[in-house]
Amino acid sequence: MPFWAKGVPPKLSTINARVETVATAASYRGPWKRGQRCILPATGFYEWQLRESGKQPFYIFLTEQSLFGFAGLWDASTNTDGEVLESCTILTMPANPLMAEIHNVKARMPAILRRDDHDAWLSGDADTAMNCITAYPQELMRAYPVSTVVNSPRNNELRLIEPLAVAPARQESCAKAAAPMYSGVSRTAAARAMPRSGMGLPLVRLAGLPHAAADGFARSGGLIVSV
């Protein structure tokens, strides 16, 4: 929520900030200029592929970072009662080839930071921070289709990240569409590799953000993280 919104959610969507306009768009240029950058940790995210049968969700994760960070901005807005509301947004950018195949309508992807760029993103000047935004290498990413159960925000359980059991008639078309994504991923490989909470659920925490912003950030369009 932009600081100028006076605590009232704007009608336009501010869930994602396009890297191409983050320095000039009214909702983001203030936080960008003030250096209000943050990192939103995640173990993976979801994106939807448009098919003739409808939208198929995919779970995407990294091969060399079990816990990685999205580049984000945070802001604080004060309502008429003097209550300060804190929120954040994830930067998005043009998709790499793997993500363009999955997100085949708009061909976008979240800005995923290399581990060595974390300090520069948080503490560097605007030019230094912008240089941290590059398309994450597709060879370091994996993806597989998951159940449409993930489409509902009411669902928050381990099966949301389990690879989808594909019917034999669809295996060939699915394999062709996602050949570079699987790379030997078994039905439970991703689940075993994920950090866990005490309840056995995938563990994701939003660090480096004001407390209210972290609490409020749960879903981001095609991107879903657990808090």
Cβ within 8 Å of residue 122, ≥6 positions away: 37, 38, 39, 208
Taking a C-beta distance cutoff of 8 angstroms, is the pair 63, 189 a contact? no
Taking a C-beta distance cutoff of 8 angstroms, is the pair 69, 41 a contact? yes
CATH topology of domain 3-224: hypothetical protein yedk fold (3.90.1680)
pLDDT at 80: 79
Alpha-carbon dihedral 16, 17, 20, 24, rounded to 10 degrees? 160
DSSP 35: T
Alpha-carbon span 205 to 40, nearest angstrom: 8
Q: Domain ranges in the chain?
A: 3-224
Tens-digit pLDDT profile for residues 65-91 = 999 999 999 998 877 788 878 889 999
Closest CA to 31 of 81, 83, 91: 91
Tens-digit pLDDT profile for residues 120-165 = 999 999 999 999 999 999 999 999 999 999 999 999 998 899 998 7
Give the model's confidence band at 13: pLDDT under 50 very low, under 70 low, under 90 confident, else very high. low
Residue 199 has pLDDT above 90, yes or no: no
